Amino acid sequence: MDEIGVGVIGMGTVGTGVVQVLLENSDEIARRLGARLRLVAVADKDVTTDRGVDLPEGVLTDDVGRVLDDPDVHVVVETIGGYEPAKSFILRAFANGKRVVTANKALLAVHGDEVFAAAHEAGVDLGFEAAVGGGIPILRAVREGMAANRVRRVYGILNGTTNFILTEMKERGEAFDRVLREAQRLGYAEADPTFDVEGVDAAHKLALLATMAFGARVPFEGVFTEGIRDITPQDIQYAADFGYDVKLLAVGKSEGGRIEVRVHPTLIPDDHLLANVRGVYNAVYVDADFLGPTLYYGQGAGRRATASAVAGDVIELARDVAAGRSGRVPPRAFLEDELAQADLKLIDDVVCQYYLRFTALDKPGVLSRISGVLGESHISIESVVQMGRDAGQAVPLVIMTHEAREADVRQALGEISTLGVTQGAPALIRIEG
Ligand code: HSE
């Protein structure tokens, strides 16, 4: 039986999981691949910490060249994350004719054009299933399972940390900061959780997913991004009273040649399948023209689930090594030459329903003044509820609108703030579905 050499760079959480699955399930893998995967080298700056995995003698090294430059390594796994030195390592692997697998969504979302072009030029493949949805094989489904379709919409819960925080805030009625600290204690959130809570991690993933789903280059900077820091347990409770759940949703739509990509807290009906995705789980809903809607659910993070996706890519690329071929399936689903820049819709032009929560004076005439401004801005009201009664004092006033244009809503909120009947900034949460 042939042997195919694998090298891993980065023995952190994911890298350790990859080594573990390749060693533990080597017979299972060989039965599918028809060849043996051999761990040639695993490079990390730290070669002393015990990761609880028995590596074959001499495999662990602090010399990255043993992965990148050794002709016995056919497939390189990059699991160090971040932009540099990850990008330089990947480009060096391509230059040496090696196939690469990465889970690095930040790198691919920001520098993807350069990295994919380099792979194309070198005539090698790049696997990145683990970059979106962790262990869920969503990219393979979009790339191959939906290859005959036009994809119209994708909705994703793509960040486990924020989904855990929102779930806990709802179920325990606790404030954001407190639940975030717990997420960090449990090891879900990063020590610096900015990318998670600001929606940046989900936006990286949406940029990759939308590019592959819609067949146009969606740059990360083009994704409108808003995080969950300002969501309060009160808003989650009021949303529940109206029959909605609050989720950090990644929304991608392709209509009439224009693409809409946004990540923000979103009210979704509580009977929608995505509303029932709790805790650190991820889910992606894809609507394609012939296939119709499909839903993918599973662990979007974690050592074993992410390692499963990385190892799946290693096996796919190893098949190509064994067959002496490459470029069988375009990594971003469409031929690189066919991927034009996306014509992105600005957030101002987005049309959806809105949840607005004001802190408004409880006195006659206030509601008519607020609704008057909304009416003048072409915003139709679906329902209004004043939460409690405190004559002459400020109380929460929740307004659900019909579909309205974002620019109109922003303008109306600006005008309402000058009326002298509200306190502080209102809460605005978009509604989908
Ligand atoms: N930090 C990510 C999350 C996991 O919370 O989902 C890796 O993509």
Share of the chain above pLDDT 90, in %: 94
Ligand 1 centroid to Cα of residue 280, in Å, is 9
What is the SS3 assignment for 391? coil
Tell me, yes or no, whether 143 and 131 share the same domain. no
Q: Could you give the residue ranges of the DSSP H alpha helices within 221-261?
A: 233-241
Q: How buried is 156 (Cβ within 10 angstroms: 0-12 exposed, 13-18 middle, 19+ buried)?
A: buried
Tell me, yes or no, whether 52 and 99 share the same domain. yes
Residue 27's CATH number:
3.40.50.720
Q: Which of 161, 200, 205 to mutate to test the pocket of ligand 1 (most atoms within 8 A of CB)?
A: 161
Q: Is 316 in the pocket of ligand 1 (CB under 6 A)?
A: no
- What is the mean predicted confidence (pLDDT) over 100-112? 97
Tell me, yes or no, whether 215 and 295 share the same domain. yes
Mean pLDDT of the chain: 96
Residue 205's CATH number:
3.30.360.10
CA–CA dist 162, 199 (Å, integer): 8
Tell me, yes or no, whether 82 and 170 share the same domain. no
Q: Catalogue the E-assigned strands of 18-164.
A: 35-43, 60-61, 75-78, 99-102, 126-127, 151-157
CA–CA dist 307, 135 (Å, integer): 7
Tell me, yes or no, whether 193 and 329 share the same domain. no
Q: How buried is 48 (Cβ within 10 angstroms: 0-12 exposed, 13-18 middle, 19+ buried)?
A: exposed
Q: Is 154 in the pocket of ligand 1 (CB under 6 A)?
A: no
pLDDT of residue 390: 82
Of all atoms in ligand 1, which is nearest to the CA of residue 105?
8
Number of domains in the chain: 3
Which residue is closest in CA terms to ligand 1's atom 7? Answer: 301
Q: Write the single-letter amino acid at 310.
A: V
Inter-residue contact 98 to 123 (CB < 8 Å): no
Tell me, yes or no, whether 166 and 295 share the same domain. yes
Any residues with CB less than 8 A from the CB of 147 and at least 6 apart, and which?
Answer: 333
Phi, psi of 137 (to 5 degrees): -80, 55
pLDDT tens digits, residue range 44-68? 999 999 999 999 999 999 999 999 9
Tell me, yes or no, whether 166 and 58 share the same domain. no
Ligand 1 centroid to Cα of residue 249, in Å, is 14
pLDDT of residue 1: 59
Any residues with CB less than 8 A from the CB of 210 and at least 6 apart, and which?
Answer: 154, 218, 223, 252, 259, 261, 342
pLDDT tens digits, residue range 181-237? 998 888 777 667 899 999 999 999 999 999 999 999 999 999 999 999 999 999 999
Tell me, yes or no, whether 274 and 216 share the same domain. yes
pLDDT of residue 185: 84
Tell me, yes or no, whether 309 and 391 share the same domain. no
Tell me, yes or no, whether 92 and 229 share the same domain. no
pLDDT of residue 190: 67
Tell me, yes or no, whether 279 and 332 share the same domain. no
Q: Say what the pTM is.
A: 0.96
Length of the chain: 433
Of all atoms in ligand 1, which is nearest to the CA of residue 282?
6
Residue 377's CATH number:
3.30.70.260
Kind of pairing between the strands at 394-401 and 351-361: antiparallel
Q: Is 160 in the pocket of ligand 1 (CB under 6 A)?
A: yes
Q: Write the single-letter amino acid at 356.
A: L
Q: Which listed residue (205, 247, 253, 345) is catalytic?
A: 205
Tell me, yes or no, whether 280 and 423 share the same domain. no
- What is the mean predicted confidence (pLDDT) over 96-104? 97
pLDDT tens digits, residue range 109-167? 999 999 999 999 999 999 999 999 999 999 999 999 999 999 999 999 999 999 999 99
Any residues with CB less than 8 A from the CB of 85 and at least 6 apart, and which?
Answer: none
Nearest one of 15, 8, 32, 26 to 319, comparing CA atoms: 32
Ligand 1 centroid to Cα of residue 68, in Å, is 27
pLDDT tens digits, residue range 29-49? 999 999 999 999 999 999 999
Query: b vs e for 123-144, b when ≥16 Cβ sit within 10 Å of the residue's Cβ?
Result: ebbbbbbbbbbbbbbbbbbbbe
pLDDT tens digits, residue range 360-405? 999 999 999 999 999 999 999 999 999 887 877 899 999 999 999 9
Any residues with CB less than 8 A from the CB of 268 and at least 6 apart, and which?
Answer: 244, 245, 247, 249, 274, 275, 431, 432, 433
CA–CA dist 390, 392 (Å, integer): 6
Six-digit token pair at 63? 């010399």
Q: Is 79 in the pocket of ligand 1 (CB under 6 A)?
A: no
pLDDT of residue 389: 78
Q: Is 248 in the pocket of ligand 1 (CB under 6 A)?
A: no
Ligand 1 centroid to Cα of residue 61, in Å, is 27
pLDDT tens digits, residue range 315-333? 999 999 999 999 999 999 9
Any residues with CB less than 8 A from the CB of 200 and at least 6 apart, and which?
Answer: 194, 225, 227
Q: What is the dihedral of CA 105, 110, 113, 117, to 10 degrees?
A: -60
Q: Is 301 in the pocket of ligand 1 (CB under 6 A)?
A: yes
- What is the mean predicted confidence (pLDDT) over 411-433? 96
Six-digit token pair at 267? 């009210």
Domain boundary among 289, 312, 339: 339
Residue 325 structural domain = 3-135+303-339
Share of the chain above pLDDT 70, in %: 99
The CB-side HSE value for 387 (13 A sphere, CA atoms) comes to 18
Give how far Cα 241 sits from Cα of 166, 172, 264, 387, 413, Å: 16, 16, 21, 11, 23
Q: Is 161 in the pocket of ligand 1 (CB under 6 A)?
A: yes
CA–CA dist 102, 166 (Å, integer): 29
Q: Tell me if residue 205 is catalytic.
A: yes
Give how far Cα 290 sits from Cα of 32, 145, 151, Å: 31, 12, 9
pLDDT of residue 226: 98
- Position 71 confidence tier, pLDDT thresholds 50, 70, 90: very high
